[in-house]
Structure 1
Amino acid sequence: MQVTETLNEGLKRGYSITVTAAELDAKVNDKLVEAQPEVEMKGFRKGKVPMALLKKQFGQRLLGESMQEVIDGAMNKHFEDSGDKPAMQPKVEMQNGEEWKEGDDVNVEISYEALPVIPEVDLKSISLEKLVVKADDAEVEEALGNLAETAQDFKARRKGSKAKDGDQVVMDFVGVVDGEAFEGGSAEDFPLVLGSNQFIPGFEEQLVGVKVEEVKDCTVTFPEEYQAEHLAGKEAVFTCTIKEVKEPVAAEINDELATKFGAEDLDGLKGQISERLEAEYGGAARAVMKRALLDQLDKLVSFDLPPSLVEAEAGQIAHQLWHDENPDVQDHNHDTIEPTEEHTSLAERRVRLGLLLAELGQKAEVEVTDAEMSQAIMNQARQYPGQERQFFEFVQQNAQMQQQMRAPIFEDKVVDYVFELATVADKEVSKDDLEKAIEALDEE
């Protein structure tokens, strides 16, 4: 086998590989010898089929396998000897493919872009600020008020008051279709919050304005796709007897409210709220510090970038931004989106930082555990209620999807590793200052 370099320009590489007919023939013979003891053929005992007959019977099929194995072996040996790592799948072309016949040498051209050598970075020289926001009493009280609203109660309105949207009416009702009451169409002392869309569309709106002891007929039409087929698309009249009209009131902020949210008492609930707020602030502050870290790393390193990676990333950026600006277009049946210089510049930054973080993570032996992947899959599966299991199985069977989910976890673990080595100084700021810093990230 002969391997000749044909291109070495920047990160671009090209090689010509010639596999002689004799090498291929020897490979085929080796496979036949290996298989011969197990081959059975009419007229011969097991393992006693002559080589010439085996070659006639199986030679053509083994020739293709042998050709692929020899070329793959040559490529693997080249990457092992050279230390090159291809940025993307190498392009392999058989030069004499159309004219090739058994007994000819095989000429193959291989081209690829090598990943660059990543320079060393002194991570201990990096200095960062960590924004720290403490949850003050006003914020805790505001959060308490919001919780009280979610745990709202209802109290009776003044006698004679009309029900408003958001009020709760307690009523008896009987539903009739085609002059007859139907199963499941009646109830007593039923509490209904107007505007909750708990009933058939158009029903609750007709109860706005009712008063205690009033009898109100509500006429509605069941949806065509209603689950009970015998009612689908039919008109119904519900005779409602209003027994109570109640207005919403926020729950009192006390120990009883605290127990509803799993705390022992009000002070315990305030402590939980304070911890949750500061955890949210901490997550936002981490995003700000991560951006500052990436900005520093981007200035600290410089190396050649594989054009194919930059081109692919720029295309993805342009495509995503186009869909962000055209949210009505759900599919990809549109004209090709050509990346701009701005897209390419952003792509270069992302590729550079991606390669650097990958190198740092590899050297630090950072790994994404099975438990971390499972947690990430479960978190995303919750976005598909009722289909969690199907989503989980889809990810397990899709290597590309697994890589897409693993990549951000790996990146965050590498970032945390760098944070540990860098010099990080806490800086206490206000909530407003933190919000401005987060807004600035979106503007960049």
Structure 2
Amino acid sequence: MDPYDSDSSVDEDFTETGVLLGYADEEVIEDTISHLGGWPSWIDENTPPPGDYANCKVCNSPMLLLLELHGDLPDNFPNNERRLYIFGCPRKPCNRKPGSIRAYRATRKVSLPGLPLPQPQKVEKKKPDPKPEPEPVAPPKPKLDLGASLFGATALTSSVSANSNPFSLTPGSGAAAAGANPFAMPKPATPAGPAPTPAAKSSTTTSTSALAESFADKVRISSPAPASTSGTATKQTPESTGVQAPWPAQSAFPAPYKKYFLDAEYETMSRPSTPTIPENVTVEPMEEDSAGGEGNVELKDTFESEMDKAFMKFSMRLAHNPEQVLRYEYRGTPLLSSYTDQVGKRLHPEHSAGRVTTTGGGSMPPCEYCGAPRVFEVQLVPHAISMLEDGREGVGLGEGDAGMEWGTIIFGVCGQDCAPEKIGQLGWREEWVGVQWEETK
């Protein structure tokens, strides 16, 4: 047998990356929120997005939902409830035009940093405190002041006898006895440094407790703290601009894409060993075509070779897990299908003079609402198209419903996850979306 055997050069070992792959299924898996296609749902059904978010920026007609993702990130934003949306226009004239695909983030604060909401947890922490121990002695006190009950002062007498401050926000909890300021907002004491972490987690469980194995739960990846805001806000938030146009009724939209629920697994790839060239094999340079001097490498050839290099890498990476419909890696790096289009030049360091990275700000436009750098979070890949368009022949817009022509949709979000500071208020933000379209011959 020839010493250079391609079959024997494949190493069957596998490697796991930090990328979560999303897989679509018609059956409900665990997460009932995350899905491809179908109709969108909102964190708060009484606060849908502004009405103009429904429309394509090219034709101003309602778009269809491509993706809704339950995007809670407890390791990064423990006080925030998050959801991500991608909408696309199905009309043929809008294909390949900016604004025909739009992306949104909905965020609602469930507590404020440093001010955890749950009260029972505070009480549990104070139970071991020896200070509240004298409370059982309280009953004898009324005997010393029997007339006090005539003036309704019994409650005050018992609270004072328990050594608690009657002006405290949590009488009898022992906070005042521990030296807390009765007029200060409740916050963790200085020595209890680790306290905010469990409190924040308990606030987040209100939104995720019913999704024990959801896509969102699998996204709980520890990441560096968000970068500080740097930049200038140039756009008003929807909640600050007053009355918004209502979200259109379902009858205003074309027929939705087929709905699929999502499950997630970390990306695994086989690791083929690098083939070695046997000693008895020589490599000779290819002869140049000298006819008319056309054998010289032209700029066009260089461009096409770069395009092919990116697409080959893109295709080979997807081929390891061909059923994937999305790739998720918060603050990670997207997989590019081209280095030479507008998006590729933005996000690929080699083709942007090494001035940008996907996590350092500058590669994507900064958040228009707070000025913070944007970071990569999720992208749709081509298999999502075949899933969404399954059975859509003759459905919707007739000749105008030409199908999707994108190669990948890259979703960049505000690195600070900016949102209204008021607890319970839902904030809507339009985020950056980079679309790499299929190459046309």
- Shorter-chain TM-score range: under 0.3
Greater Rg by CA: 1
Structure ranking higher on relative contact order (CA contacts 8 Å, 6+ apart) = 2
More helix by share: 1
Give me the TM-score of the superposition, normalised by structure 2: 0.17
Give me the TM-score of the superposition, normalised by structure 1: 0.17
